[in-house]
Chain A
Amino acid sequence: METLIVLLTIFVLAIFVGFEIITKIPPTLHTPLMSGSNAISGITLIGAVVTSGGDVTWLPKTLAVMAVIFATINVVGGFMVTHRMLSMFKRKG
């Protein structure tokens, strides 16, 4: 139960931090924000790696390896496409 409370605390505080920062992001960067935050949600990759470790049978292992693939697409593709987009934003002159 204690772990749950600690984790919930982290969850709620992180949401507040998120609100504080993201309300300051200008509309012109909203698309890169979406693709970039999408790459961040690829953090599930950590979960996939942890569950595919351990001494598990073939079925959970297969699921976890598939999760590794999808999450990596998210991470690598997300950060790369965000970088591509952001490099296009230029000031006058």
Chain B
Amino acid sequence: MLAVVSVQNLINLAYLVAAVLFIYGLKGLTHPRTAVRGNLLGALAMLIAVVVTLWDQHVIGWSWICGGIVVGSAIGAYLAVKVEMTGMPELVALYNGFGGIASVLVAGAWLLSGNGDHVIHDPTGALGAFDLVGKPEHSAALMQGTIAAAASGLIGGVTLLGSLVAYGKLAGIKWVPEGAFLPQQKVINAVLVLIALALCYFTVTDILNPTQAPAEASAATAAIFTTHSGLYYTGICIIAFVLGVTLVTPIGGADMPVVIALLNSYSGLAAAATGFVINNNVLIIAGSLVGASGLILTSIMCKAMNRSLWNVMFATMGPSSSSATADEVYAGKIKSTSGEEIAMLLETARRVVIIPGYGMAVSQAQHAVRDLANLLESKFGANVDYAIHPVAGRMPGHMNVLLAEANIPYDKLREMDNINPEMDQVDVAIVIGANDVVNPVARTDPKSPIAGMPIIDADKARTVIVIKRSLSPGYAGIPNPLFAADNALMFFADGKKAFQEIIEALKEA
């Protein structure tokens, strides 16, 4: 009986508890009320998994591991405390990248440490104990580990560089190029993928039939050169890095939420692949949960733009020849307005809906938006809601976090499908920093680049106020007939200043 409850079994049971807690924690995120607890359960699960792994007697080198954990915790805590809510897309992109590089490094360490023999001898956290060397199962286990290591390197490498490019774009770093920067980029990508797959194949065959190292090689280098797998693996990683750059660089602007969600998924899949390398089920479960989460978000984002993932990743978006030019749409029809005039409209409005877009994040207008909403509700008895398009901003849920930061209760943030049926009863719709997501062309012109994209029906409100710095087109590059509509007024100003002006005018009224 005692023999059955070995240390190994206890560790695996602890991993099972951790996996259940991860699932339970994610379940907590299905409602804002339970979300904080859900996140803490996830953290508890991680703590359990790490502590039992460290507790395992076979893991040595405590000082290095603990040193690494202390350094990593300090950096992670610093980033988490310092970040502004407007900087959240950049931070998420960066974290995705860190997840990617961790998988690349673990798989590399495994390949270089005598092909992971020690892990197979001593599979900390494996499904069961193996002592396979010399048995037929050994080569099967080696093959599994090596294929998984190659996959970890490939996915992790793409995630790392892809995330860094995404970070550069989001942070507005100037030297990150816009658009496709190589001729025939699709062909180059395809060739790179083929080379990477070939290198994966060489890595596996080399591990199974090692080439002999030169006898005079020192012990340290022998581990690397006993096989060429280390070199092949380095090649895989380098190609993955290049692919990360060439895949993400052409994508920008409003497609960013898709990229961020996809990289999120990759970071999870890389972790799952690492689980296959070291035969560890908690890595596989946690990694695949994250992979699934990222994939779902990716598909939600794509649907909200009525585009396929392929189209987002590889097609260029631009005005089609049939689209009306800006002059045709706007000439003589734009009515510009002022803060005082808007204040007069709002004084009598009973229902107001605010439709935020990326522009609100750029001008950091969320607090001014809240002040206006509070004033309208307390002084004029209006009802103010917020209509959130799924792809508004630069990552899934971007607007919700900014508005939550400004203390706006989450039940006032309405989803597009939920608020659209009520838009014709709205007295004033205020569009701040959004463009394509309120462009009625999506409904009317089947040839437009945004044809069929679900939009927020701002045009159905009695009066639409658009706060925007200029008439410049949105990401789709097409003019927006909403701006020229009879019931629309344009307020050309920075989002935050515009709201402050309206508030001043309302206070004087």
Contact = CB atoms under 8 A, between A and B. Distances in A.
Interface of A: 1, 3-4, 6-7, 10-11, 14-19, 21-61, 63-93
A71 B108 contact: no
B80 A77 contact: yes
A68 B296 CA distance: 28
B72 A76 contact: yes
B46 A6 contact: no
B109 interface: yes
A19 B223 CA distance: 42
B401 A91 contact: no
Contacts of A7: 127, 144, 275-276, 279, 281, 284
Given A40-B289, A51-B113, A75 B398 contact: no
Identify the interface centre among A47, A70, A91: most chain B CB within 10 Å of its CB. A47
Interface stretch (B187-195, B409-417, B441-449): B409-417
B465 interface: no
Which secondary structure dominates where chain A touches chain B?
helix
Given A43-B49, A92-B412, A73 B76 contact: yes
Interface stretch (B22-30, B164-172, B422-430, B483-491): B22-30
Contacts of B59: 49-50, 53-54
- Chain B interface size band reads 35 or more
B264 A38 contact: yes
Contacts of B118: 54-56
Interface in B70-106: 71-73, 75-77, 79-81, 83, 85, 88, 91-92, 95-96, 98-99, 101-103, 105-106
A59 B233 CA distance: 14
A68 B53 CA distance: 13
A46 B397 contact: no
B435 to A, nearest CB: 20
Given A27-B300, A34-B260, 16 more contacts: A31-B398, A32-B35, A32-B39, A33-B297, A36-B29, A43-B286, A44-B287, A49-B59, A49-B65, A50-B53, A51-B278, A59-B223, A66-B105, A67-B102, A73-B95, A89-B35
